[in-house]
Structure 1
Amino acid sequence: MDITAGVLPAIQTPLVNKFYQAHKARGKATRHDQNWVLKSTEIVAACRVQSVASSDFLSTVLVDPKLRGRGLARQLLLAVLAQQYAPLYTFAYRHLAAFYAGLGFEVIQPEELPHALADKYHIYVAQGRQILAMQFIKPDQN
């Protein structure tokens, strides 16, 4: 399967939402997000990078359930991380913490998040989501 990674143009945002809806994802993409996808003939994985409080927030990472276990999430996120230069945060489900750590994310305390993200984090935890606040630490370019 020939797969390419990239950011969809804003006008194609409905395609990401159609993918999310088909797989019952919680998030909804907007035209203001960077909507990253892996595509063959159709979208097989997607995620959003939202600008929140002068930082970037990675969310709604989803791989087509029929294609999980093939490294597609890793492929997608490596493409995203190669283009990152602003602080990048995410809320990882606890069972995925090692996966994100393997990509260069580190667990941080919620107090270390920008205020707007800390508020969002506390709302999600109050809803019962088992998440950790994480920050991407870009490796030194030596």
Structure 2
Amino acid sequence: MTGKDPRPPVAIPTLPAEEEYILPFTREIRVNEFPLADNVWLDYHDTNGDPATDRIFAVFSDGEIRSVARCRRHRDGLEVDGIFTPEAYRGKGYSRMAVGALVEACHNDDLYMYAVRHLVGFYAGFGFEPIRETELPAIIRERYTWAAGNLEGAEVQPMRRKAGFR
């Protein structure tokens, strides 16, 4: 053995900048990208992100946002909402990717939400459990005062995910 490798050197492949990825990937968006999430939410109750209180997770593909999920910090708890995938991108698992990234990043705190009833099973897959409305932090509960206690009529279910990994 001469100590020299007879094989020719192999170039180490490098990946392009994440914005150039074609395959979907998920990450928390940067403050300067909040307007991109706001644009996705135009078809979702005109929701807007606030860098002072929100962490927004997005699925990117072909340089565009395909789905978003938000975790908003209130003075008495963290609320998960704003989970939205535009119709053209539904059925590809993008919401699952966005919520999964959010739950992983925010696992140190209890997370609360009002889940649309037909999605309770979806959120249960991330460790969310149905709770009574009175178990929600007050400021989160206030968002549905218009329902006057009739959450069934509003077709939502309060849920909580306790802190920690599952």
TM (norm. structure 2) is 0.76
CA contact 1:87–1:135 (8 Å) conserved in 2: yes
Identity %: 24
Which whole-Å deviations, capped at 9, do the CAs of 1:35-71 have from their partners, x for residues lacking one?
A: 1111111000011110012321111100121121121
For 1:133, give the aligned amino acid.
P
Match of 1:102 in 2: 125
Q: Is the 8 A contact 1:7 1:36 kept in 2?
A: yes
Q: Report what 1:28 is aligned to.
A: 48
Please say if residues 11 and 31 of structure 1, whose CA atoms lie closer than 8 Å, have aligned partners that are also in contact: no
Alignment of 1:75-86 (within 5 A): 75-84=97-106, 85-86=108-109
In 2, the alpha carbon distance for the partners of 1:53 and 1:121 equals 17
Of the three residues 57, 60, 64, the one matched with 1:39 is 60
Give the 3 Å change call, closer, same or farther, for CA 115–70 of structure 1 in structure 2. Answer: same
Does structure 2 conserve the Cα–Cα contact (< 8 Å) formed by 1:58 and 1:88? yes
Matched, 1:63 2:82: no
Partner of 2:29: 8
SS of structure 1 residue aligned to 2:39: helix
Q: Contact conserved, 2:70 with 2:81, CA < 8 A, in 1?
A: yes
Residue 49 of structure 2 corresponds to residue 49 of structure 1: no
Cα RMSD, aligned residues only:
1.9
- C-alpha distance 140-81 of structure 1, shift in aligned 2 (>3 A): closer
Q: Specify whether residues 98 and 30 from structure 1 end up closer, same or farther in structure 2 by C-alpha distance, changes over 3 A only.
A: same
1:139 Cα deviation after fit: 5.5
Q: State the partner residue of 1:134.
A: 159
Q: How many residues align?
A: 138
1:122 Cα shift?
2.5
**Contact kept in structure 2, 1:45 and 1:73, CA below 8 Å:** yes
The alignment's TM-score, normalised by the length of structure 1, stands at 0.87
Deviations 1:4-36 (A, max 9, x none): 111111122111111111xx1112212221111
Partners of 1:99 and 1:90 lie apart in 2 by: 13
- Please tell me whether the aligned partners of residues 55 and 70 of structure 2 are also in contact (alpha carbons under 8 angstroms): yes
Q: Residues 5 and 39 of structure 1 are in contact (CA less than 8 Å); yes or no, is this contact kept in structure 2?
A: yes
